């Protein structure tokens, strides 16, 4: 996952305050994490392509490495991370940014889907979570985890539980399982009580492991 400080111009989740109150009342673990997190909140940068592109860049590498690669992509693209600009850079320039050949393929396929109108982000706010995921996983390199990150960081859906996320599982292990990482089934069972605010619960568990707000 990539991280950066949240910018004031980002659009914050409108339900965040309600989620904070509910989780704080539900469990003292969340009450403590939320109290220590100050005013930081989940927010969306509003650009679907950039959110998805950053998710692809961040797959299976460390936070620090992902940020470094993304910074090089920004430099190569002159901060213009549009589908057309990414395609214009070409595979060699993207590989020079530190992307693997497979991630170059994934990023290019994403850009092609946007350029051809095969993805229509203007319709996604009207669709439920599973319908959005079904569309996104048609792109090479976008699996369920990446689609769930999009639901969280772009569409600001309140009840996403990304069970394939290592940080979520580690956070549950640290706070409720004596440091032992739970199975996906155990995590799902633990998180049932957090509905309908499982996005916020996940975000705060990430915060408990890393004080810098997670953002895509």
Whole-angstrom distance, CA of residue 146 vs CA of residue 52: 7
Catalytic (active site) residue 165: yes
**pLDDT score at 41:** 93
Strand partners, 44: 11
**pLDDT score at 62:** 75
Q: What's this model's pTM, rounded to 2 decimal places?
A: 0.85
Domain residue ranges of the chain, discontinuous segments joined by +: 11-41+160-209, 48-153
User: How many Cα atoms sit within 13 Å of 164 on the Cβ side?
Assistant: 10
**pLDDT score at 58:** 85
The CATH number of domain 11-41+160-209 is 3.40.50.2000: no
DSSP 8-25: TTSEE-TTHHHHHHHHHH
Q: DSSP character for 3?
A: B
Q: What is the topology classification, in CATH, of domain 48-153?
A: Endonuclease III; domain 1 (1.10.340)
Distance of CA 166 to the CA centre of its chain: 12
Distance of CA 157 to the CA centre of its chain: 11
Q: Summarize pLDDT for 47-105 with one digit per residue, the tens.
A: 999 999 998 998 888 778 888 999 999 999 999 999 999 999 999 999 999 999 999 99
Whole-angstrom distance, CA of residue 81 vs CA of residue 57: 13
Low-confidence ranges of the chain (pLDDT < 50): 1-9
Q: Which of 71, 128, 165, 210 is catalytic?
A: 165
Whole-angstrom distance, CA of residue 168 vs CA of residue 195: 15
In angstroms and rounded to an integer, the radius of gyration of the C-alpha atoms of the chain is 17
**pLDDT score at 147:** 95
Q: Could you give the angle at the alpha carbon of 152 between the alpha carbons of 146 and 158, nearest 5°?
A: 140
């Amino acid at each position: 996952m990539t991280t950066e400080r949240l910018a004031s111009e980002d659009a914050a989740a409108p339900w965040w305050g309600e989620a904070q109150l509910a989780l704080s009342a539900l469990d003292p673990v969340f009450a403590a994490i939320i109290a220590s997190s100050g005013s930081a909140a989940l927010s969306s940068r509003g650009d679907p392509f950039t959110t998805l592109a950053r998710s692809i860049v961040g797959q299976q590498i460390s936070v620090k490495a992902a940020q470094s690669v993304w910074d090089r992509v920004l430099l190569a693209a002159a901060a213009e991370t549009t589908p057309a600009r990414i395609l214009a850079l070409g595979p060699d320039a993207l590989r020079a940014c530190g992307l693997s050949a497979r991630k170059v393929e994934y990023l290019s396929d994403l850009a092609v889907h946007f350029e051809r109108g095969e993805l229509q982000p203007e319709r996604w706010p009207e669709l439920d979570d599973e319908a959005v995921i079904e569309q996104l996983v048609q792109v090479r390199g976008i699996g369920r985890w990446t689609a769930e990150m999009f639901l969280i960081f772009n569409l600001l859906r309140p009840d996403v539980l990304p069970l394939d996320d290592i940080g979520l599982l580690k956070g549950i292990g640290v706070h409720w399982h004596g440091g032992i990482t739970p199975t996906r089934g155990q995590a799902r069972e633990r998180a049932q009580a957090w509905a309908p605010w499982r996005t916020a619960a996940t975000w705060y568990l990430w915060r408990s492991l890393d004080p810098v707000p997670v953002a895509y």
